[in-house]
Structure 1
């Protein structure tokens, strides 16, 4: 019983990480693009 429970916990933790990571990556990419766009605007001025 204990073995099953720990595997289940690992699986849900794994799923949670898998679900949360793309969003973090997306937000990081978003901020990087924004910073890059700001630099481009500054360079244009």
Structure 2
């Protein structure tokens, strides 16, 4: 169902390259996360 929705909405997956973490809350003691997927529309 997930893939069908992505296709129906015309979303494109952006590849993740070269970073250990993809998100930070930018605090003094940061919370760092690696997000699994990024999508964008054309």
> Considering the TM-score relative to the shorter chain, is it more than 0.5?
no
Q: TM-score, normalised by structure 1?
A: 0.22
Higher strand share: 2
Q: RCO greater where, 1 or 2, for CA within 8 Å and sep 6 or more?
A: 2
Q: TM-score, normalised by structure 2?
A: 0.24
Task: Look at both structures and tell me which one has the larger radius of gyration over its CA atoms.
Answer: 1
